[in-house]
Amino acid sequence: MKINSRIIMGGRRPAEQARAVNPPVHHASTLIFETLDDLMAAGHRPTNYGRRGTPGIMALEEALCGLDGAAGARLTPSGLNACALALQSVTRSGGHILMIDTVYWPTRRFCDTVLERCGVETTYYDPMIGADIASLIRDDTQAVYVETPGSNTFEVPDLPAIARAAHDRDIPVLIDNTWATAYFYNPFEHGADIQIQAATKYLVGHADAFMGVVSANTRWLPHVERTHGQLGIAVAPDDAYLVQRGLRTLGVRLDRHQETALTLAHWLKERPEVAQVLHPALPGSPGHDVWARDFCGASGLFSIVLRQGTREQLAAMLDGLTLFGMGWSWGGYESLIVPVLISRTASTWEAPGPVLRIHAGLEDAGDLRADLEAGFGRFNAAA
């Protein structure tokens, strides 16, 4: 089956769930057993305790694995917690990891604080490093972490080249695939061993729940499962329900997010106020060739670099927008815009003016363009 069919069919067994189309929600901590034999026979899965997963949670894990062929998945209460779980699953005191310099900033903070306290050292690498990452791998390197495309600046790293270098030394490759989701990019086909997704974004799709997913191939799944259990991570059954509900419309939503984002990106490229559009599907964007080679599409999040702009000009532009909201997330049905700060330590980043990150929502593309056009009018009038 193609992905749009798997999105609809995954994890659903109406005959086993009172004929309901959707998996039921079980609110259960304690599970009761009829006989001593049954009590003693129940293990982790099927479970003997609600924290290890209820049927709705396991149905969602199964549906998610059906999208990209992962051997298994575990859910976490937030996307950031999924990043942390994946890293803790493969590292131990005295080790070292290689972390992409364009990583989601709270993941960087996790490495520089919690991992550092656990005795794991982090070296950041240039997102465009490719096969040269081999020169940074040490005897104590325990993981190579990739996020594609880069947070806020959207460089697309060459995952297959990075993975070849890591696998030569038997080191697992972790990837944060939140931007594309399995709909546009299957990281397991390009060398990843462990995939992280902030389901909070496109999988939930409605800006109303937090969830993270860590999935893995056969080799590395036991590490993730073990650590997930040892840390006692559990998610709310209602939130898992919202993820499976959002999942069913992932394909249609992402097709529209892609189309509207590209319409806006091409229009913004021609605006006199804009120095650069950072969108992996635009030729000239760093890593565009890798994107064109390995991805099946682009989602709705991208950035623009302005030629210049004072705080007053930005406020005049952003405060007056009608359809674009200002908020620190994305992946819901609504359009968003925020100024972003770029912080790096292993590569250089220079921009003539402010960087604005745009999430193209599901509103009418012409209306969105008109909203931004009026915004540029206020921006210029405030100069």
Ligand X SMILES: *Cc1c(COP(=O)(O)O)cnc(C)c1O
Distances (CA, A) of 166 to 214, 237, 287: 20, 37, 20
**C-alpha torsion 370→181→200→225, nearest 10:** -170
Rounded Cα gap, residues 30 and 38, in angstroms: 14
Q: Which is nearer to ligand X, 210 or 295 (CB)?
A: 210
Q: How many residues does this entry show for the chain?
A: 383
Q: Which of 201, 248, 253, 357 is catalytic?
A: 201
Is 176 in the active site? yes
Q: Which is nearer to ligand X, 79 or 127 (CB)?
A: 79
Q: Which of residues 218-237 bind ligand X (CB under 6 A)?
A: none
Q: Which residues of 25-50 are buried (b: 16+ CB within 10 A; e: fewer)?
A: beeeeeeeeeeeeeeeeeeeeebbeb
Residue 328 beta carbon to ligand X: minimum distance, rounded to whole angstroms? 8
Q: What does the block give as tokens for 307? A: 């030629």
Residue 211 beta carbon to ligand X: minimum distance, rounded to whole angstroms? 7
Q: Is 53 in the site for ligand X (CB under 6 A)?
A: no
Is 125 in the active site? no
Q: Is 152 in the site for ligand X (CB under 6 A)?
A: no
Q: How many CB atoms lie within 10 A of CB 19?
A: 7
Q: Is 104 in the site for ligand X (CB under 6 A)?
A: yes
Site string for ligand X, 236-255 (x = CB under 6 A): --------------------
Q: Is 141 in the site for ligand X (CB under 6 A)?
A: no
Residue 323 beta carbon to ligand X: minimum distance, rounded to whole angstroms? 22
Q: Is 80 in the site for ligand X (CB under 6 A)?
A: yes
Q: Which of residues 178-207 bind ligand X (CB under 6 A)?
A: 178, 198, 200-201
Residue 155 beta carbon to ligand X: minimum distance, rounded to whole angstroms? 13
Q: Is 210 in the site for ligand X (CB under 6 A)?
A: yes
Beta-carbon contacts of 42 under 8 Å, excluding residues fewer than 6 positions away, are: 31, 33, 48
Q: Which of 51, 109, 226, 293 is catalytic?
A: 51
Among the residue ranges 28-36, 76-84, 115-123, 125-133, the one whose residues contact ligand X (CB under 6 A): 76-84
Rounded Cα gap, residues 212 and 190, in angstroms: 21
Beta-carbon contacts of 196 under 8 Å, excluding residues fewer than 6 positions away, are: 79, 82, 83, 86, 174, 175, 176, 177, 178, 212, 213, 214
Q: Which of 52, 104, 108, 241 is catalytic?
A: 104
Identify whether the C-beta of residue 199 lies closer than 8 Å to the C-beta of residue 80.
no
Q: Is 126 in the site for ligand X (CB under 6 A)?
A: no
Residue 213 beta carbon to ligand X: minimum distance, rounded to whole angstroms? 10
Q: Is 176 in the site for ligand X (CB under 6 A)?
A: yes
Of 47, 78, 249, 347, the one binding ligand X (CB under 6 A) is 78
Helix/strand/coil (H, E, C) string of 218-285?
CCCHHHHHHHHHHHCCCCCHHHHHHHHHHHCCHHHHHHHHHHHHHHHHHHHHCCCCEEEEECCCCCCC
Q: Which is nearer to ligand X, 200 or 276 (CB)?
A: 200
Is 51 in the active site? yes
Q: What does the block give as tokens for 251? A: 């394909």
Beta-carbon contacts of 350 under 8 Å, excluding residues fewer than 6 positions away, are: none
Is 239 in the active site? no
Q: Is 145 in the site for ligand X (CB under 6 A)?
A: no
Binding site for ligand X (CB under 6 A): 78-80, 83, 104, 147, 176, 178, 198, 200-201, 210, 212
Q: Name the residues annotated as catalytic.
A: 51, 104, 176, 201
